DNA sequence: ATATGGTTTTTTGTATACCAGAGAATATAT
DNA sequence: ATATATTCTCTGGTATACAAAAAACCATAT
């Protein structure tokens, strides 16, 4: 056999519906859906026109997004970005707590020294940084825990849940006083994982996330309470 | 104000894609996908023809099913029911354990006497019944726990995971010796919930489900190992 | 001015036609 | 007979046309 350059097959299901799905998903997650003057309507035809394609692949992307609970397709009325109410968001945070708690449990005794170091670097930064930077690091910390579980399904489903919570979380996490508490929580979690205490790590993560749930329930009033 | 007849709104989004989605989903879940001679292929055109409709709504239903990981759409090749491998199923069971464990935790101190009775009736039946009946009761038991959490999201996501596991579970749960163990587990779980011991209930449920994970990993060899 | 009834517009739902890639079947050359 | 090239068919992908329902609009009668 001859030697030849080794090229990865770069065709990754290059279908429009896939690309559109990703584009729309990101756009939706970046929207400030709880702002009064955000238009929650998505127009199939307009999107298709803007992208210079037909409605069909756009619709298929929308069906997928609806299945992920990010939008709502009302027959012959329109497509709308879904604005979840307090109960739904709080419940999603509970599910997230369940997932991530199990991830922390599995991470114990299953991580290398380097991995723990990485987790620590991400989660235990000083409080001097800006809210945005902190928020970003916070997300990364929780993502990292899902990853350290080495359980792909746990990670995938955790990320899905997270995507649904994110808009509300971003809106609710404006309170700087929460930052300190969060960082000391993170340090404890890192410790528990490092010293291989699955039960303890699981408990810490669960309570940490459930604290967010309580916080959201308390401070939700700031947000627009109208539903679609 | 005058009295007038009170009519419930009967509009139930009667769209084809919705109906087809449900029909196909049920059909897929009832398939014995691990049997050698089951045809895993789904033909858009054939389905549309059989249902007497066009391809469009069928495609949209398929996109949804793909998003739920029940099928795989390979561009220009075909649509196939997804046969998960041991790692994927085992991981899904782990996620399920996480979800249901949290559900049991929440159920504690949040259930009525009647609800506990119902749970007991379902989960702690005698071993004399047939495998099929037992299997059915087993599913119901776990569904009931999700329900008693009073957390709709936990229930919904739990059910979604369950749907993905179900085919493998049905195939793996042929061992009658597991039945007895299962029933005593159930009794303990009911007790823990009844006596309001959230920590204990959560642990029991988690370990009970993780035992299924271990069991599946051990006995998977019986199943077809080829993947798509 | 307001309520009512019909019409027009807007928006998604569904059907159909055509396209392009993948693979099987066939033909051809050696 | 085998290896290679070609064609043919099958399948999902995309575009477009039309149907149907909801909402907006408007005219008219009271």
Least confident of A147-151, A153-157, B26-30, B202-206: B26-30
Mean pLDDT of chain A: 86
A positions 145-174 inside 8 Å of B (CB): 151-154, 157, 161
* Residue A10 confidence (pLDDT): 44
Measured in angstroms, the CA of A65 and the nearest CA of chain B are apart by 9
List residues with CB under 7 Å of strand C: A 11, 42-45, 55-56, 59, 73, 75-79; B 15-17, 53-57, 60, 75-77
Beta-carbon separation of B95 and A94 below 8 A: no
Given A63, A92, A152, which is nearest B60 (Cβ)? A63
pLDDT at A227 exceeding the cut of 70: no
Give pLDDT < 70 ranges for chain B.
Answer: 1-13, 126-129, 172-176, 221-228
Beta-carbon separation of A153 and B94 below 8 A: yes
Cβ partners under 8 Å of residue B130, min gap 6: none
Cβ partners under 8 Å of residue A107, min gap 6: A145, A148, A149, A150, A193, A201
Three-state SS annotation for B113-133: HHHHHHHHHHHCCCCCCCHHH
CA of A60 to C1' of D5 (A): 38
Read off the pLDDT band of A3 (50, 70, 90). very low
B98 in contact with A, Cβ within 8 Å: yes
pLDDT digits (tens, 9 = 90+) for A194-218: 999 999 999 999 999 999 999 889 8
* Residue B129 confidence (pLDDT): 67
Angle B5-B10-B11 (CA atoms, 0-180°, nearest 5)? 140
CA-closest candidate to residue B66, choices A13, A4, A221: A13
pLDDT digits (tens, 9 = 90+) for B152-187: 999 999 999 999 998 888 776 666 677 777 888 999
CB pairs under 8 A between A and B: 78
* Residue B194 confidence (pLDDT): 97
Read off the pLDDT band of A111 (50, 70, 90). very high
Cα(A186)–Cα(A125) distance, integer angstroms? 10
Cα(A71)–Cα(A69) distance, integer angstroms? 6
Beta-carbon separation of B64 and A64 below 8 A: yes
Measured in angstroms, the CA of A153 and the nearest CA of chain B are apart by 6
The structure's pTM equals: 0.87
Q: Are A40 and A84 in contact (CB under 8 A)?
A: no
pLDDT at A133 exceeding the cut of 50: yes
Nucleotide nearest residue A76, measured CA to C1': C12
pLDDT at A157 exceeding the cut of 50: yes
Find, in chain A, the residue whose alpha carbon is nearest to that of B89. Answer: A153
Given A64, A92, A153, which is nearest B88 (Cβ)? A153
What average pLDDT does the segment A51-55 reach? 95
Cα(B66)–Cα(B73) distance, integer angstroms? 7
Strand D bases with any atom < 7 A from protein Cβ = 10-17, 20-23
């Amino acid at each position: 056999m001859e030697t030849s350059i080794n090229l990865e097959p770069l065709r990754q299901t290059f279908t429009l519906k896939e690309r559109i799905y990703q584009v729309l998903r990101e756009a939706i997650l970046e929207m400030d859906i709880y702002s009064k003057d955000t238009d929650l309507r998505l127009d199939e035809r307009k999107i298709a026109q803007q992208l210079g394609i037909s409605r069909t692949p756009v619709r298929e992307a929308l069906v997928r997004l609806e299945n992920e609970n990010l939008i709502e397709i009302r027959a012959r009325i329109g497509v709308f970005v879904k604005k979840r109410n307090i109960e739904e968001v709080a419940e999603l945070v509970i599910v997230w707590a369940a997932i991530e708690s199990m991830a922390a449990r599995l991470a114990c005794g299953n991580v290398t020294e380097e991995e723990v170091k990485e987790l620590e670097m991400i989660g235990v930064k000083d409080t001097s940084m800006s809210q945005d930077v902190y928020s970003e690091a916070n997300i990364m910390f929780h993502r990292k825990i899902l990853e350290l579980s080495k359980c792909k399904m746990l990670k995938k489903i955790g990320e899905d849940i997270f995507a649904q919570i994110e808009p509300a979380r971003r809106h609710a996490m404006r309170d700087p006083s929460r930052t300190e508490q969060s960082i000391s929580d993170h340090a404890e979690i890192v410790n528990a994982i490092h010293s291989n205490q699955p039960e303890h790590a699981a408990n810490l993560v669960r309570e940490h996330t459930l604290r967010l749930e309580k916080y959201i329930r308390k401070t939700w009033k700031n947000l627009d309470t109208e539903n679609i």
